[in-house]
Amino acid sequence: MKIVHTIKDLQVDLSALKAQGKRVGLVPTMGALHAGHASLVKRCVAENDVTVVSIFVNPTQFNDKNDLAKYPRSLEADCELLEACGATFAFAPSVEEMYPQPDTRRFSYPPLDTVMEGKYRPGHFNGVCQVVSKLFDIVKPQRAYFGEKDFQQLAIVREMVRQLRLPVEIVGCPEVREESGLALSSRNARLSDGERQDAARISQILFASRPYAKEHTVEETKRFVEQGIAAVPGLRLEYFEIVDGNTLQAIADWHDTSYAVGCVTVYCGEVRLIDHIDY
Ligand code: PAF
């Protein structure tokens, strides 16, 4: 595997490979890689001739400077994992390389980006679209792989690709969980052992809400999850919404959609965690 830091170096190598007819897949990441990322990379390696994994902690998608500063960074370990997964390139540019000038482009996909994470992290999805569209332009992949864990992000990236008619196939890959049920996230690296146990309660409560939902209304199911989380002293709920999985709009009745998804954001200590479940 080759580690590249500049757009030019990556493009020189990629154009030689593309001239040989190789198909290129991209896995955009912010590093601090874990088994969830490994599953995306392995799938990309299996479905393409060349796999580019970008490792870039994108400042424009952080609305909280403290969160950006504390985001875990581990390039060396990341590259070892990528090598073991069979990636062709790790693309790890600097902030100056990606943003020589401020990116003034604005991306807005209402109503997908006005709810949930869009509401609580203003500007977040604009930043995600800035960097993802830039990466698509640099790499020009045939396919790009995103985790379903970031459920709203995946819906917004799909919408951006649809509206801008970008020539890339977006592949969504299933969320990966620890044995405890905790959804894998780079942010988990910041949890203490005790916090990890509290954090595992989030998915356990979501899973318990599935059978509960079969016998109860949307409102009651919301309350079940909200109260479950409130009962764990180490957790602080930011929001729990039950939405139509396609439009991401809140539903009032199970009959409003055939694809209901519960999306949750919870603080565990200082660490902000997201998860979701389909009903
Ligand atoms: O999901 C992430 O890790 C990031 O939002 C992404 C897609 C790599 C863009 O920075």
User: What separation in Å is there between the alpha carbon of 148 and the centre of ligand 1?
Assistant: 12
Q: Which residues line ligand 1 (CB under 6 A)?
A: 28-30, 58, 61, 128, 131-132, 150, 153
The CATH T-level fold of domain 2-173 is Rossmann fold (3.40.50)
Question: Is 3.40.50.300 the CATH classification of the domain at 186-278?
Answer: no
If you measure from the C-alpha of residue 92 to the centroid of ligand 1, how many angstroms do you get, rounded to a whole number? Answer: 13
In single-letter form, the type of residue at position 39 comes to S
**Residue from 77, 42, 53 nearest 4 by CA:** 53
Instruction: Indicate if 37 belongs to the active site.
Output: yes
pLDDT of residue 155: 98
Q: What is the pLDDT of residues 210-225, one digit of tens each?
A: 999 999 999 999 999 9
Name the closest-CA residue to atom 1, ligand 1.
29
Give the C-alpha separation, 254 to 244, whole Å. Answer: 9
Residues in the chain with pLDDT values less than 50: none
| Contact status, residue 172 vs residue 154, Cβ threshold 8 Å | yes
Measured in angstroms, how far is the CA atom of residue 119 from the centroid of ligand 1?
18
Residue pair 180/213 in contact by the 8 Å Cβ criterion: no
The β-bridge relationship of strands 89-91 and 50-55 is parallel
Q: Output the pLDDT for position 84.
A: 98
Identify the residue whose C-alpha is closest to ligand 1 atom 2.
Answer: 29
Taking the C-alpha atoms of residue 30 and residue 72, their distance in angstroms, rounded to an integer, is: 9
| Residue ranges covered by each domain of the chain | 2-173, 186-278
Per-residue confidence (pLDDT) for residue 239, from 0 to 100: 98
pTM of the model: 0.96
pLDDT for the residue numbered 44 = 98
Q: Which amino acid is at 243?
A: V
Q: What residue owns the CA closest to ligand 1's atom 8?
A: 29
- Predicted local confidence at residue 42, as pLDDT: 98
